[in-house]
Amino acid sequence: MRVAIITKGEVKKMLPVEISNGILRHGKSILINSDLVPTGKMEWLKKQINAQNITPEIESYGIRIGDNGNGLVARWYDDILAEQQVAIKAAYNLLPVEIRAAREEREAISDLFDQAHRALNNDTDDNNVIRGLRLLSQAQTKFSDWENNYPLAAQKERGQELLSKADKQKSLAIGALTYDADGWLDSDARQKSHDEHMNKASELISQAKQLLTPEVAKW
């Protein structure tokens, strides 16, 4: 099972472990609570663990599930995920009915597009093309209806798409400074390409902000 090591409320590590005598073990190693180790004894402790000389004293410095003091907490990651899912569901249930309906319909439409894509590109039976085109037509019709029924949700989606395109331009801008496949561009040309991509990103972000108003963001 995976455990999350939390320090002062922040997850610092997440790794597979086993429990032996109440102590968390990762492979042949023991997860050590450094606050329990006396000054100057850490190197000795590491050598003992490496030699698999795991005595009760060695185990006394180990991390256990739960609160280990000084803000150090070890929790099963599955428990954290379960709590997050409960919180997400609770927050979702507090949303207005219309917003929930818009999101659920959009998810169903996305699934329909996925089915069409699989039929056209992955399936190999005799009817895959006809089936894929039929599913694609259904998905496109439903999406058009969805846009008309939930204009603010559709506006939010368009704004998010613009932000994704902006992120792509930023990535291209970084690459423009460091990568030249042909070796033909000098530093000035690479800088120019970088600036062009960044300008495109800024323009896309500006367009997205116009769409993503506080009212739209709720959707």
**What digits encode the pLDDT tens for the residues 82-105?**
999 999 999 999 999 999 999 999
pTM: 0.70
Average pLDDT over residues 103-119: 96
pLDDT given at position 178 = 80
- For the chain, list the strands marked E by DSSP: 2-7, 10-16, 18-20, 23-26, 29-30, 66-67, 72-76
**Shared domain check, 65 and 6:** yes
Query: Does residue 78 lie within any of the structural domains?
Result: yes
pLDDT at 181 over 80: no
Query: Does residue 218 lie within any of the structural domains?
Result: yes
Query: Does residue 49 lie within any of the structural domains?
Result: yes
**Shared domain check, 141 and 70:** no
Query: Does residue 9 lie within any of the structural domains?
Result: yes
Q: Residue 186's domain spans which residues?
A: 152-219
Please state which of the ranges 35-44, 61-70, 80-89, 122-131 shows the lowest mean pLDDT.
122-131
Gap between the Cα atoms of 28 and 51, Å rounded: 10
Helix (DSSP H) and strand (DSSP E) numbers for the chain:
8, 7
pLDDT at 180 over 70: no
pLDDT tens readout for residues 21-33: 999 999 989 999 9
Reading the block at residue 153, the tokens are: 């949700």
pLDDT given at position 182 = 62
∠ Cα 172 173 176 (to 5°): 85
**Could you give phi then psi for residue 52, rounded to 5 degrees?**
60, 30
Gap between the Cα atoms of 140 and 115, Å rounded: 12
pLDDT given at position 189 = 84
Average pLDDT over residues 53-66: 94
When the pLDDT of each residue in the chain is averaged and rounded to a whole number, the result is 93
The dihedral built from the CA positions of residue 84, 89, 94 and 96, taken in this order, carries a sign that is positive
pLDDT given at position 183 = 62
User: How many Cβ atoms sit within 10 Å of the Cβ of residue 94?
Assistant: 8
pLDDT tens readout for residues 129-162: 999 999 999 999 999 999 999 999 999 999 999 9
Average pLDDT over residues 65-93: 95
Contacts of 146 (CB under 8 A, 6+ apart): 102, 105, 106, 109, 153, 154
pLDDT at 184 over 80: no
pLDDT given at position 124 = 79
Query: Does residue 62 lie within any of the structural domains?
Result: yes
pLDDT given at position 186 = 77
Average pLDDT over residues 213-219: 95
pLDDT at 167 over 70: yes
User: What is the number of structural domains in the chain?
Assistant: 3
Distances (CA, A) of 108 to 101, 104, 128, 143, 200: 11, 6, 21, 10, 33
How does DSSP classify residue 18?
E
**Shared domain check, 219 and 186:** yes
pLDDT given at position 19 = 94
Local confidence band at 190 (pLDDT 50, 70, 90 cut-offs)? confident
